[in-house]
Structures are given as C-alpha cells and as structure tokens.
A and B are shown apart, each in its own frame.
Chain A
Amino acid sequence: MINIFTHYSHQLLVGFGWTIFSSLLALLFSLIIGAAFALMEVLPNKVCRMIGRTYVEIFRNIPLLVITMFFYLVIPMYLVKINGFTAGTIGLTLYTSAFIAETIRAGIQSVDNGQMEGARSVGMTYWQAMRYIILPQAVKIVIPPLGNQFINLVKNSSVLAFVAGFDLMYQANSIASATFDTINSYFVVGLLYLIITLPLSYYMRYLEKRTA
C-alpha cells in the first residue's frame, strides 16, 4: 500500500487536483444556476415557476452518469467537441444545480410568509424585500445543506472516470490495472477522498448543531 503511495504519488496528486478543481468549478456554477432557478420557483409568476420546476425535476430524476455521458458522447457527435473533464464538470454542474435549487427554494420558503407581507406593507418592493429581508435569513438556513451538497459533489465527481476526466477515480483505475493490486489501489484513493470529505462533513455537522 505504501508502495502505491510512493510509486504513484505524482499520478495521485494530479488526480487529487483534478477532482478538487472539477468539484469547485461545478460548485460555483451550480450555485449560480441553482440560485437562479430557485428564485424562479418562488416568483409570483406562474410561467417562471413552471420553468424552474421543470428544470429541477428533469435533472433531479436522471442519473448523473447519463447526463455526463450525453455531454461526452452525444453532444460532440452533433454540435461541438467537449473533452472529458469539461463534459464531466458540466454534468456535475447541471445535476447538482437541481439539488441546490431545491435546497435554496426550501430555505426561502421556510422564511415566514408574514415577513414578506410585512416588508411589502412598509413600502418595500418585492425585490427589495427579497434582497434585504428574505435572502439573508434564507442563506443562514441553507448553508449546512449546501455544504452537504458539496460533499456529494466531491463524491460524485468520480463519474469523471467514465469519460477519461483524469480525476482520482480515473487514476485509481489506471493504477489498479498497472499494479494488478486492485484493492490497495482503491484503498489509497479512498483515503484521499476521505481527506476531502470527512473534515467537511464533520464541520457541517458542527454548523448544523450550532444553528439548531
């Protein structure tokens, strides 16, 4: 096991880097997209609500692997070339954004309805009330579940292995078949995943306890 660490440290490091990079990129974009669709879902406009709802339901109910492979194999056949890393990150972004939209929507809606009415009655516009009253409270509520989404994101980024995305899992497969030492290769990579996810998950639990 130590052999794998020392022999393949470069490959492992590269994988580690790509995994984190892909997760961070996907987090950033899925936050933006997720927040946008969450807002659409709570707007008083019916069409907007429907668009938001449809987006969320589509990407929540189709496997990440299907979405990712679609961007890797199908889109390039008909439209533009997308490399494995990008396809994987796009897949992760779309998939995660649906969950983030759901989290943020729940957060906004959990802020008491009376607050919006109150804000409107003192003369604020809808957007002002949203910006200054509702969203700040919602953000506090949604941070722990968002943290959990990020942990899921890191774990899910292993789907990059299916599209040659150079991530940790891809390197694990490659090391496992070079050394024939399957279990130990995956064990090493498992430890590397835990280095990212375990502290995060403990921190999120701590946050949850503090806000509760």
Chain B
Amino acid sequence: MRKKFWLFSLVLWTFLLTGCGQSLSQQSVLENAKQANTITWGVKGDVRLFGLIDVKDGQQKGFDVDMAKLITKHILGPKGHADFVTVTSQSRIPLLKNGNVDAVIATMTITPERQKTVDFSKVYFNAGQSLLVPKNSPIQDAYHLNGHTILGVVGANSVDNVKKASPKAKVLELQDYAQAMNALKSKQGEAMTTDNGILYGLAVQNPGYEVRGGTFTKEPYGVAINKHQKSFVKAVNQAIDEIKADGEYNRLIKKWFGQVPGFNYKELYSK
C-alpha cells in the first residue's frame, strides 16, 4: 500500500511539473523565421472567406490566409515561404504558446484576457459579432435571446459576449464553425453567433439563413504572437502598414468580400 502511494505521488508530480513547466523558448521567432526563410501560421480550416480547406487540393484559402502570405513576403522578402497549420478556436492559443506555430491569424479578436497570455499585432480587420438565423426566425437581435438556445464555438469569445447581452440565453459550444452551422440546420439551436464576416460566409453557402440584428460588439482581429517577441510584433505591424499603404489590402478585401450579398465591403477599406 505504501509503495503504491509513493508511486502515485511520483506520477502525479511528473504530471504537475509538465503543467507548470515553462513552455516558452527564449529564442527569437523572427530570427528563426529569417533563418528558415519560413513563417509557420496557424489559420482556420472551417471558416469560409477567412480560412477554409479547399476540397480540391486540401489547402486553406481565405482572407486570413492571403494576409498571412502577404505579411510573410513583406517580412522575409519575395522568396519567403508561408507554412500553414489548421487550428481551431480551441487549439490556437496552446499551439502558439507551445511554439508549434509562429503566429496565429485566425479570425482572432484582440481581447484584454487574451492579451495577458499572448501579444497581438495592430488590428488588421474590423469585425463585429452578429447572429445567423433561419429567414423565418422570430429572433431580431442579440439583446432578446433570453430563453433561446444559441450556438457558438469552443474557445471563441462570442460565447461570453452573447451571455453579456442576454444573460439567460442558453449557449451551446460546438467544436468548430462547420459543426455549429450543421447543428443550426439540425435545429439544435435557434441562432448561431459569431463575427459577422464568418456568418456572411456561412449565409452565402446556406440559402434560407441570414445575418440579422447588425453587430452588437466590436471585434478587432489581430495577429497573435507569443509574449516576449517584440521584434516579431514590430515586423508584423510594419508589414500590415505597408500592405494597407500600397493598396494590396483593399484588393484582398474586394477579392474576398466583394461578392458577399448584404455586406458593405467598402466600409472595410483602409483609407
């Protein structure tokens, strides 16, 4: 019995040390990226318009992905290589902290809570949270959802936002946006909530559903980067400025959001 107890504590401590261990390497991400001529980006794989896996070739495609490619070129030069790892709202922060990816550009809102754990670049896209509902739904806006069942995604801040707007709404967290959309179609919830850009992408694909109620939060997207990587943050910020200044940014906005009905993409142009 005694022996068992000692063994138990031994294994326990190994686990505990794993948990508390410092994951962050002190190396400079920027230097490493320059040396390898590659930046590894975490992007979404299930979000139309931002990061969606294309069945044709298995590659991720979308605004975030194109932004990542441009930023890579601006930092590493025209021959710089961008690598992509598909992340979910749930996995993006652990993967960034662990160093599996150098940066995350995955419809990620800059929030004070997240800023305690990771650093963000400057805003590269202004989204706002909204609702996706079936066209015949009685739901009008996010402030009258008490008693309704709302679908969100694990790890997304939209779940907290909707609880702030309607404290008595019942929120279900699904694994990713594709599952949440299918759950909405299967009537597992009456509305789905997340950022308007993502919802417009879903509405394009699913006639019979529409984005409703306008935006009820401001969701500025930023590129997430590990703490203590000031040089890398600076490089990304500079790249974003350059991309906005030389018109590439507006070209990308038009490419991805120009065809989306009901979405005033010109509001997104950088002036």
Query: Which positions in A face B, CB cutoff 8 Å?
Result: 1, 72-77, 81, 83-84, 161-164, 170, 173-174, 176-177, 180-184, 187
Contacting B90 at CB < 8 Å: which of A84, A177, A187? A177
Identify 14 residue pairs between A and B in the complex whose beta-carbon atoms are under 8 Å apart, listed by A's number.
A73-B182, A76-B187, A77-B185, A77-B186, A81-B187, A84-B188, A164-B172, A164-B173, A164-B188, A177-B155, A180-B113, A180-B114, A183-B18, A187-B16
Given A72-B183, A162-B175, A180-B117, decide whether A173 and B90 contact each other with a Cβ distance below 8 A: yes
Q: Which residues of B contact A184 (CB under 8 A)?
A: 19
The answer to whether B15 and A187 have CB atoms under 8 Å apart is yes
Nearest CB on B from A194, distance (A): 10
Nearest CB on B from A78, distance (A): 9
Nearest CB on A from B180, distance (A): 9
Nearest CB on B from A81, distance (A): 5
The answer to whether A177 and B117 have CB atoms under 8 Å apart is no
The answer to whether A174 and B186 have CB atoms under 8 Å apart is no
The answer to whether B154 and A174 have CB atoms under 8 Å apart is yes
Q: Which residues of A contact B173 (CB under 8 A)?
A: 164, 170, 173-174
Task: Write the chain B residue with the least CB distance to A165.
Answer: B172
Contacting B19 at CB < 8 Å: which of A1, A73, A81? A1
Cβ of B261 within 8 Å of any chain A Cβ, yes or no, is no
Given A164-B174, A174-B173, decide whether A183 and B183 contact each other with a Cβ distance below 8 A: no
CB-CB nearest 4 A-B residue pairs: A177-B155, A76-B186, A164-B172, A182-B94
Nearest CB on B from A64, distance (A): 15
A159 to B117, CA, bound (A): 29
Nearest CB on A from B158, distance (A): 12
CB-CB contacts below 8 Å: B72-93 with A: 89-90, 93
Q: Which residues of B contact A164 (CB under 8 A)?
A: 172-174, 183, 188
The answer to whether B188 and A180 have CB atoms under 8 Å apart is no
Nearest CB on A from B14, distance (A): 11
Q: Is the interface of B mostly helix, strand, loop or mixed?
A: helix
Known: A77-B185, A163-B174. 8 other contacts (CB 8 A): A73-B179, A74-B186, A76-B186, A170-B173, A176-B90, A180-B117, A183-B18, A183-B19
Contacting B154 at CB < 8 Å: which of A72, A73, A177? A177
Q: Which residues of B contact A180 (CB under 8 A)?
A: 93-94, 97, 113-114, 116-117
Task: Write the chain A residue with the least CB distance to B155.
Answer: A177
A157 to B177, CA, bound (A): 23
A183 to B94, CA, bound (A): 9
A75 to B93, CA, bound (A): 34
Nearest CB on B from A91, distance (A): 15
Task: Write the chain A residue with the least CB distance to B159.
Answer: A174
Task: Write the chain B residue with the least CB distance to A180.
Answer: B117
The answer to whether A83 and B18 have CB atoms under 8 Å apart is no
A73 to B176, CA, bound (A): 14
Residue interface mask B144-176, A partner, CB < 8 A = 1 = 000000000011000000000000000011110
CB-CB contacts below 8 Å: B38-93 with A: 89-90, 93
* Residue among A73, A161, A177, A184 with max Cβ neighbours from chain B (10 Å): A177
Q: Which residues of A contact B116 (CB under 8 A)?
A: 180
A181 to B89, CA, bound (A): 14
Task: Write the chain B residue with the least CB distance to A69.
Answer: B179
A193 to B88, CA, bound (A): 25
The answer to whether A84 and B155 have CB atoms under 8 Å apart is no
The answer to whether A83 and B155 have CB atoms under 8 Å apart is no
Nearest CB on A from B21, distance (A): 9
A76 to B189, CA, bound (A): 11
Q: Which residues of B contact A76 (CB under 8 A)?
A: 186-188
A81 to B189, CA, bound (A): 10
The answer to whether B188 and A81 have CB atoms under 8 Å apart is yes
A77 to B188, CA, bound (A): 10
Nearest CB on A from B13, distance (A): 12
Task: Write the chain A residue with the least CB distance to B94.
Answer: A182
The answer to whether A177 and B182 have CB atoms under 8 Å apart is no
Task: Write the chain B residue with the least CB distance to A71.
Answer: B186
The answer to whether B89 and A177 have CB atoms under 8 Å apart is yes
